Structure 1
Amino acid sequence: MSRTGRTTADRERGAPVEVARPARRRRRDTPRDRRRRRLLGVAAALAVLALAGWALWAGPLLSVRTVHVDGATTLTAEQVRTAAGVAEGTPLLRVDVEAAEARVARLPQVASVQVARGWPGSVVVTVVERRPVAVVTDAGTRSLVDAGGVLFDTVTGEPPAGVVPLDVPSPGPDDPATRAALGALVALPGEVRAEVAGAVATTGEDVTLSLADGTVVVWGAGTDAEDKAAALVALLDQVESGALEPAATIDVSAPDAVVLR
């Protein structure tokens, strides 16, 4: 046998010779190849982000399907939804929550409002309604007044329970008489306020309350409201227990020196 691995017989028969080929060398990565792969990866990531951005900004998957209303009592949920003006089908990211809040805040009954996106498909409108403290008559119209002096709703029949008739010359949040009288009413505990049949003030210094049993309470200025309320409650408790005789007038304008007449 020769070094080629062929026998004499093979050579005589003319058998084909197998020539060993060198192994194919693997192509090495170049900086250009790596840079190209990085660019392709970045392009793919940007495409995914663009698609996700479109889905959030304009796509139907994350759009408004419902508008929830929380906190409404005198207002109906539909009134609040109408005021908010958020259309169903609007992509959540395109809902202008500040504009919706401003529109709901224009409702007279609303003291404060917050509008929030509720992922994946809702908007939540949370309102805090004004709570009536008194009812005033102005230009022939009876209106409910909150603790801040804001006239926010009209009434034609009986006002809500616990709402006190208030007589002031110019009802409103900037009127000293209105603020002083409302401060007196708000300072009273609920059970005592329920016994107040009316309140009168011509200035911020001469608030007078009338109780249901006919007792007149001289409140005076709007200052020291908490001390005056505490003095009045203590006196009424003593009258109820029999420790004091009923008085036609209770003057708490100086809470440290109460006068009964």
Structure 2
Amino acid sequence: MSHTATRRPGARGLESSASRFRERALARRRRPWLRGLAALVVLALVAGTGWLVGWTGALGVHDVEVVGVSGAEAAAVRELVDVPTGTPLVRVDTAAVETDVRTRVTVAEVSVRRSWPRTLVVDVVPRVPAIVVKNPQGRLEVVDATGVSFGSVDKAPTGVPVVTATGSRAMTPEALQAALALLRDLPSDLSDDVRSVTVSSADLVTFTLRGKTVVWGGEDESALKIRVLRALLTTKAKTVDVSAPDTPVTR
């Protein structure tokens, strides 16, 4: 009669299993601590980065770059940027800087942006002369297309028409808008040749064009006036009156 021997784990096998069990148990107990430590490290890094960016001069304003204008105008704009050197870029109130720069009358539009690591960029759109208004004292004021006067000149810039109010009266806002509307409505091939404009009232605007005096009238029916004017510019008349375009007059 044969007997089958029953194998039992040896001492070394039991010791090895117990060791692995203890290691797994220790690993399970260490995991929460490791996760907590990792979270603390991440928080420390975030806090350190926030402190570096927001509360030190490492990423602070060291340069102010003005784009869109140059020379004395750029220097004048830069003077309006009231941001102390070293102020963290992230803490600069760009809207407040834009408000300060807009106080300069020669500036039409402005936007301020951060250029990392240490530059504040001011993008400026300058006002462009549309007309030069001659006041009763003879002074020439430069005015943009929106009607804003932004400087005085001794001589009108090349290609910019001079607008004069009749008599000794100053230019009224209505008369000024009538002159601007005229130049806005005229196509560029005509407006580029306008050299002087006289405004008696908002309804009576006269200008010189290619050696002719053109009586324009007011802002109404501008499209029809332009068509009639083009036809009459080919005549030998010295004065062309299109203020009533259905019944134009030449002299």
For 2:105, the equivalent position in structure 1 comes to: 108
For 1:37, the equivalent position in structure 2 comes to: 34
Indicate whether 1:46 and 2:31 are aligned.
Answer: no
Q: 1:131 aligns with which of 119, 128, 133?
A: 128
For 1:178, the equivalent position in structure 2 comes to: 176
For 1:210, the equivalent position in structure 2 comes to: 208
Separation of aligned partners in 1, 2:170 and 2:26 = 88
Paired residues of 1:162 and 1:193 also in contact (CA < 8 A): no
How many residue pairs are counted as aligned between the two chains?
232
- TM-score w.r.t. the length of structure 2 is 0.79
Paired residues of 2:69 and 2:124 also in contact (CA < 8 A): yes
Query: Structure 1 residues 162 and 71 mapped into 2: Cα distance closer, same or farther (>3 Å)?
Result: same
For 1:153, the equivalent position in structure 2 comes to: 151
User: What is the deviation of 1:50?
Assistant: 0.5
Separation of aligned partners in 2, 1:139 and 1:38 = 82
User: What is the deviation of 1:167?
Assistant: 2.0
Indicate whether 1:55 and 2:45 are aligned.
Answer: no
- TM-score w.r.t. the length of structure 1 is 0.77
Separation of aligned partners in 2, 1:128 and 1:198 = 27
Paired residues of 1:183 and 1:225 also in contact (CA < 8 A): no
The superposition leaves residues 198-241 of structure 1 with CA deviations (integer Å, 9 ceiling, x where unpaired) of 2122332111113462x2111111234455345434543xx2xx
User: What is the deviation of 1:45?
Assistant: 0.7
Q: 2:89 aligns with which of 86, 92, 95?
A: 92
Computing the radius of gyration from Cα coordinates, the structure with the larger value is: 1
Matched AA of 2:118: G
For 1:65, the equivalent position in structure 2 comes to: 62
Separation of aligned partners in 2, 1:145 and 1:22 = 97
The superposition leaves residues 24-43 of structure 1 with CA deviations (integer Å, 9 ceiling, x where unpaired) of 62341476543332222211
The superposition leaves residues 124-149 of structure 1 with CA deviations (integer Å, 9 ceiling, x where unpaired) of 11111111121123463431111111
Greater percentage in helix = 2
Paired residues of 1:144 and 1:153 also in contact (CA < 8 A): yes
Describe the SS at the equivalent of 2:113. Answer: strand
Matched AA of 2:239: T
Separation of aligned partners in 1, 2:71 and 2:150 = 12
Matched AA of 2:92: V
Describe the SS at the equivalent of 2:196. Answer: strand
Separation of aligned partners in 2, 1:139 and 1:255 = 32
RMSD of Structure 2 on Structure 1 (CA): 2.8
Query: Structure 1 residues 60 and 198 mapped into 2: Cα distance closer, same or farther (>3 Å)?
Result: same
For 1:10, the equivalent position in structure 2 comes to: none
Paired residues of 1:62 and 1:120 also in contact (CA < 8 A): yes
Query: Structure 1 residues 133 and 39 mapped into 2: Cα distance closer, same or farther (>3 Å)?
Result: same
Query: Structure 1 residues 46 and 171 mapped into 2: Cα distance closer, same or farther (>3 Å)?
Result: farther
The superposition leaves residues 150-174 of structure 1 with CA deviations (integer Å, 9 ceiling, x where unpaired) of 111112x1111112211235547xx
Equivalent residues in 2 for 1:183-198, closer than 5 Å? 183-190=181-188, 192-198=190-196
Paired residues of 1:149 and 1:171 also in contact (CA < 8 A): no
Unaligned runs of 5+ in 2: 1-10
Separation of aligned partners in 1, 2:185 and 2:158 = 17
Q: 1:144 aligns with which of 139, 142, 150?
A: 142
Alignment identity in percent? Answer: 36
Separation of aligned partners in 1, 2:231 and 2:115 = 50
